[in-house]
Structure 1
Amino acid sequence: MNNRVLGKGSWISIGAPIVTEIVAKFGFDWLLFDMEHGGINESNLLANMHAAKNSGVKIIVRIGEYSASLIAHVLDVGVDGIMVPHVESVSEAERIVKAMNFPPNGFRGLSTSTRCFTYGLDASQKPENMSQPLFLAQIESYEGVCNAESIASVEGVDMLFVGPRDLSFELSMRHNLPTIEFDDALKRVALAARRSGKQAGILIRDSAKIVQLENYGYTALALGSDMGALKAGLKNIVKNL
């Protein structure tokens, strides 16, 4: 698989390294560490990365909002990419890309003593030789859908990733305002990504929808979450008692 292409993944919400280690054993191509709504935070991020390190899985971190300092800190720890929620415009996407990259392509501060540079122990590692981190721009609003094609065209955006719960809720709440049907929004985002040669991704809670979403053009599929799997397993145990 292309190093910049993501396939099947899953959501890490609990933040317990043992749980992350177990999930990482199931052959996912990537894991999303959720710092927006989940139990992952700056203090336990590295421990969870250590838990997944022997699986070869890519680590993507979703931060809660745009913060240049947080973006730099997360990337310094050595994650493979970041997801930013509620991206709605070209200017927002460009600002995030610049925060992710060192000069001349951005304004990220440089310290070669960080983990992504092996703490400065490998003199051969130079900023200009570092691979550009992945950027997943999350589309979760009417404005984001309307601007999906222009957002996808921004150099440095690797994927348009739909947040299905936020997007469906926001679209349903646009009383007396222009809106779009949720299913049409999904198709529009996937088409926008494809036209720019980028991936479209989405979180799936119902496996029966996988084929439909793949037909729309979604190639990066997050299949549930650690918390969802735990709840489903416990419900099944209790049901069978």
Structure 2
Amino acid sequence: MNTSALKRFRETLAGGRAVYGLWVTLESPSVTEMAVALGLDWVVIDAEHGHLDWSEIVAHLRAAVRGDTVVLVRLADLDRGLVKRALDLGADGVVIPWVETEEQLRRAVAFARYPPEGCRGIGAERATGWGECMAEHTAEANDSVLVVPIIETVVAPDEVERMTRVDGVEVFFFGPADFSSNAGFRGQWEGPGVARLLLGLKDVVRASGKHCGVLAASDPNVSERLEQGFRMLGLGIDGSLLLRSLHASLAAVGRDRKIRSGLRIED
């Protein structure tokens, strides 16, 4: 656990400034290493979608060890074993998808904390220096760990105000695409009415003194989200940023085209 990076992350947010990061889905730890070298405030290693396995996840975590970047792991589900494993490998926190209720959020926090505040087991793994710094790590882990829920269903809005009262949660992330799909607008980033609803939920979270995060859809959207009051801002997903650059380069030589469903190659 990178306590100095976590401290800086929190101080930046407390000062009303944004923390900028990258969503990582590709296998190569060089992606995270580049993000750290560029001084990004955070990265999220995505273990919900895609195909990253645990050996690849720990390689990404190791790529950040010499930097001051917070590294979080987005899990596939709210599961005690998954939370424990990600934190044992040295993640600074976890991102929990599809959080809909206050009770789910309280369980997520409990899974991420050692007793008596929670129910996280202690292991002689990377987080504890393979057991050699167990006392030091366990003394600071509960106060340092980040638990970030993603609000991405139409059920969640009724619970958001209660969620903001949960101790141990400082940032709420929003998932516009899944929220839109859940609202009946599958395949749209922000379907009809979704943008307005998410901005209203953002105001509820901010009124509680906590912070909101979201992935930006483009470079101009980063500035737009900042003006709206979002403070944990994702500059993009690694694969999407690569594609954005490739499209621009291909367009410059008259060769640009869209990827087809099923990855078919068609003229």
Same structural fold, with TM-score higher than 0.5 when normalized by the shorter chain? yes
The CA distance in 2 between the partners of 1:18 and 1:229, in whole Å, is 15
Alignment deviations for residues 44-93 of structure 1 (CA, whole Å, 9 cap, x no partner): 11111122222321101100101101100110111111100110000100
Aligned pair in 2 of structure 1 residues 21, 116: CA closer, same or farther (>3 Å)? same
% identity of equivalent residues: 28
Paired residues of 1:87 and 1:138 also in contact (CA < 8 A)? yes
One-letter code aligned to 1:150: R
Q: Single out whichever of 86-95 and 36-45 deviates more from structure 2.
A: 36-45
Q: Is the 8 A contact 1:23 1:226 kept in 2?
A: no
Taking structure 1 as reference, are residues 227 and 82 closer, same or farther at Cα in structure 2, changes over 3 Å only?
same
Q: Which residue of 2 aligns with 1:219?
A: 231
- The residue type paired with residue 115 of structure 1 is R
Q: Secondary structure at the match of 1:43?
A: helix
Between 1:11-20 and 1:61-70, the stretch displaced more is 11-20
The one-letter code sitting in structure 2 at the alignment partner of 1:212 is E
Q: Structure 1: 5+ residue runs without aligned partners?
A: none
Provide the residue aligned with 2:138 in structure 1. Answer: 127
- Structure with bigger RCO (C-alpha 8 Å, 6+ apart): 1
Question: Aligned pairs, how many?
Answer: 236
Deviations 1:3-57 (A, max 9, x none): 4347111111112112332233222100010001134321211111122222321
Q: Does 1:41 align with 2:53?
A: yes
Superposed, 1:99-110 pairs within 5 Å as 99-110=111-122
TM-score w.r.t. length of structure 2: 0.81
Q: Kindly provide the CA deviation profile for residues 90-134 of structure 1, in whole angstroms up to 9, marking residues without a partner as x.
A: 0100111111111111111112x2211111223651523334310
Which has the higher mean CA deviation after the structures are superposed, 163-172 or 197-206? 163-172
State the SS of the aligned residue for 1:222.
strand
CA distance in 2, matches of 1:14, 1:100: 25
Instruction: Give the equivalent residue in structure 1 for 2:20.
Output: 8
Query: What are the within-5 Å matches in structure 2 for residues 156-167 of structure 1?
Result: 156-167=168-179
Counterpart-to-counterpart distance in 2, 1:102 and 1:123: 12
